Amino acid sequence: MNTYMHNLKDTIQQLAKAQHEQIIAIRRHIHAHPELSFQEHKTAQFIATTLQEHGLAAQTGITDTGLVLHIAGQNPTKRVIALRADMDALPIQETNKVPYKSTVNGVMHACGHDAHTASLIGTAIILDKIKDAFEGTIKLIFQPAEEKSPGGAIGMIQAGVLKNPAPAAILAQHVSGDIPAGKLGFVKGPVMANTNELSITVHGKAGHAACPHMAVDPILIAAHIIVALQQVVSRHIDPITPCVLSICKIDAGTATNIIPEVVHLVGSVRTSNEALRDKVKEKITTIATGIAASMGGSCEVKLLEGYPATYNDPALTERTIQAAEEYMGKDQIQPVDLCMAGEDFAYFAQAIPGCFYFLGVQNKSMGIDSWVHTPTFNIDEKVLAFAPGLMAWLAIQELQHGGGGS
């Protein structure tokens, strides 16, 4: 790293530390006022107003609640890099006892999107202060509805968020309750799984519970199907290939003495690639329909395809790791495994080279060690002292790269 870049890194780090308390306050405001997917109207207004207070004008109303902000440096058309944060919450009742606890009954920022948004606001403030120190343009995307399929990424792409100007690459961070606060996790290639909603409807013949021989019991059929489906992962998929199949809901029956006619099973299927998704669907259908027929019933299998697998461009990710090591130190960077959760950042990464990395927020000594999507999820806010500056640094470093992805 030359002296100029070293000095620029120091400047970014100082700016990030100086605004730490402000970014915490922003995060806490968003956390206390969560909004569900495609309902982020007050959140979007808060983001726009906060940026305006720093002299920054974002384009609003993209797919209703999305925002985009451009920070143009010297020679703004030379190269464009995009940064993305999501901003929706989840239908979860928060149980944390914190001053900034959700004020909305049954809604909570249990996936860290409040931190993602606050961090990207901080990144925007930093970049605006140093825009004379870099060449190119950095596009900041505040995306709605990551938690709902189809989410906000598709709509923003269709609205032209990756055009005028067109970014050469896109970066995003996601908090992780598994990684200690202050550390970052990276993986090259598939980083998040594709998501699929599984629905199985089992048909039998209704009857009296005292006369099961005169009925076809769909609950018994469903029970056999549930157990048998576990062999899809354990016996039909290569054991070193990540795959998850979970039946999460059973809906059947109306009384203790009635054998019902229909049972509904719903669940989730996660795989690391599209070909494996197709194979799993085929095996599920074969097993479920075969069992149902052999027991005198029938069934219908539906697999609703959700987000595709999120793929980290290897070359872009390697450059991002190197830049992160320069900013954080090599000992703060660690490899991580493919996560079987889903992410609609996948659509951005399909359109242009992308890198999706993990920001550790765990602090066991403070009791902050819950996984995302739980009512006790929280973050160690000390990460907000460096995360905004880190994204600014990563974007500036990528602006200097002349090529595309791998």
- At 299, list the tokens: 């069934």
| Catalytic-residue membership of 307 | yes
The Cα–Cα gap between 51 and 116 comes to: 15
The Cα–Cα gap between 190 and 194 comes to: 10
Tell me whether strands 354-362 and 169-180 are parallel, antiparallel or unpaired: parallel
Total residue count of the chain as it appears in this document = 406
| Catalytic-residue membership of 347 | no
Q: In DSSP terms, which residues pair with 226 in a beta bridge?
A: none
Per-position b or e across 111-144, b if 16+ CB within 10 A of its CB: bbbbbbbbbbbbbbbbbbbbbebbbbbbbbbbbb
Structural Rg of the chain based on CA atoms:
24
The Cα–Cα gap between 288 and 202 comes to: 9
- Do 228 and 294 form a contact (C-beta atoms < 8 A)? no
Angle at 361 between CA 33 and CA 95, to 5 degrees: 45
Catalytic-labelled residue, pool 94, 146, 147, 381: 381
- At 364, list the tokens: 């066991």
Helices 314-328 and 3-18, interaxial angle, to 10°?
70
- At 310, list the tokens: 């999120």
Cβ neighbours of 107 (radius 10 Å): 20
Catalytic-labelled residue, pool 307, 311, 347, 357: 307
Catalytic residues: 307, 381
